Amino acid sequence: MSTQAAPTFQQKLGLFDATMLVAGSMIGSGIFIVSADIARDVGSPGWLILVWLLTGVLTVIGALSYAELAAMMPDAGGQYVFLREAYGPLWAFLNGWTTFLVIQTGFIAAVGVAFAKFLGVLVPELGTNYYIPALTLSETTYIIEIPVPWMEKPIEFFKREGFKVSSGQLVAVAVAVILAAINTFGIEGGRWVQNLFTVSKLLGLALLIVLGLTVAANADAISRNTADLWNGMYTTDAFKQMDSFTHWAPLAIVLVLSGAMVGSLFSSDAWNNVTYVAGEVKEPERTLPWGLVLGTGSVILLYILANFAYLSALPMNGKKDVPDNAENAAFQRGINHAKDDRVGTAVLEEVSPGVGVPLMAVIIMISTFGCNNGLTIMGARMYYAMAKDGLFFQSCGRLNGYGVPAVGIWLQCAWAIVLIFSGGYSDLLDYIIFAALFFYILTVSAVFVLRHTKPDAPRPYQAWGYPVIPALYIVVCAVIMLSLLVAKPKYSWPSFLIVLTGIPVYFLWRRMNRE
């Protein structure tokens, strides 16, 4: 009697695929939007570019350090495996728990809603502002408040005004379900979707950059932006709040920059996800390091060029209340007051008011769909590794006939749908930046730990600039974390609660497995 072999991961991802997974997961809607919020915080073009440069340097240095760990341990689960080998199962579980609870699923929810938001530009009835009356259950306002000693008012989070369902939320659900279904039938389908949409979004972003630097370039905007590169920060509300707290301008600048980097860090996040699919990568010892470096490097270069394009076409500081029908409305609003923060759209409006808005909507829809596909592929592989360690649902640790952890894919999809309807997905993403930085520090520190505890382990690739460059990454991220505790308490303190919820769950899971 013959027995059928158990399904295994299929190693079908090459260097191009790995690079597209990195780039595609990084580029969502953030680069087209968050520069407006950063501009309001920092007030000057020099600081805006510096924020993106710092984010880029940190991202690439982090990727160079992760590359050593990925080449050393090319196993499904990636970051979870690195933390487990360096610190033990508890720290690995906390990372996996936070990833499932808010990071991966929250990203899928938020990016799906962003897709629907821009679909609404083309078809308003399918957007996020079109609510379905039959599904409106309550209009009661719910608020959770946390007092902060150095702030006059307690911070509010998870503010909800009743339970309402928009057409956009249903569209986001459809996107999540479609991508889960595609990726249930093997890595091959997901790979093709990822490559197609990532190449498309890269071309779209490149088009925006070229148009911003050429056709939309405005001599008045360039003159205004280059006249004063640095002094605008001292007039922003963010600086005044920090300066009144610290009474020392250099420290206030550090705090403002750290707070401003919340948006740029989120726009550059998810690059580490490619390590989750190490079991499906050809020659992972070589492919993963190169995929990390090429993917992060190319995206960061495009991000910086995009901000130069914004500064070429629009003034940094514009007027807040400009009517939509005003002549050159997008130009008058500038970067800091772009309508709905859609800076990319404002640039294309300078090229063609009639074509700019729908074209940008299509580019962002392509970008967000491809981003969610990558997130769908990679997250389930972490849950697979957790389940193999007895720290997640056992069914998530089994592969289907197509060699993918289908249960993990659908469980991730289901929880993302819950977050879509909770209305709190965007808040959750803001809250976890502190926790994300914490796990990045832990993982880069694992390079040092494993060099000491496993000195003889094979290292096909070694972190560039070790020990100085990885140590610099740890120090800078730690400074940003400490600064966020003061500058953005709404984004930092709740992160503690999210991570800490995993501690009792870990011990409960261990106890259940022993029984």
**pLDDT tens per residue, range 274-331:** 888 888 888 888 898 999 999 999 999 999 999 999 999 999 988 888 887 777 888 8
Summarize the confidence of residues 64-81 as an average pLDDT. Answer: 88
Measured in residues, the chain has a length of 515
Summarize the confidence of residues 343-358 as an average pLDDT. Answer: 85
Angle at alpha carbon of residue 36, lines to 30 and 42, rounded to 5°: 115
More confident residue, 164 or 214: 214
More confident residue, 303 or 240: 303
Helices assigned H by DSSP within 433-488: 433-453, 468-487
Predicted local distance difference test score (pLDDT) of residue 159: 59
d(CA 301, CA 32): 15
Helix 219-227 to helix 284-313 angle (10° resolution) is 100
**Mean of the per-residue pLDDT values for the chain?**
86
Residue 8: CB atoms within 10 Å: 10
**pLDDT tens per residue, range 446-464:** 999 999 999 998 888 888 8
Summarize the confidence of residues 372-381 as an average pLDDT. Answer: 90
Predicted local distance difference test score (pLDDT) of residue 83: 95
More confident residue, 8 or 184: 184
Element (H, E) at 294: helix 284-313
**pLDDT tens per residue, range 128-182:** 877 776 666 665 555 556 665 555 666 665 555 666 788 889 999 999 999 999 9
Contact criterion met (CB below 8 Å) for 474 and 438? no
CATH of domain 23-130+166-514: 1.20.1740.10
Summarize the confidence of residues 408-430 as an average pLDDT. Answer: 81
Q: Quick check: helix, strand or coil at residue 46?
A: helix
d(CA 162, CA 65): 45
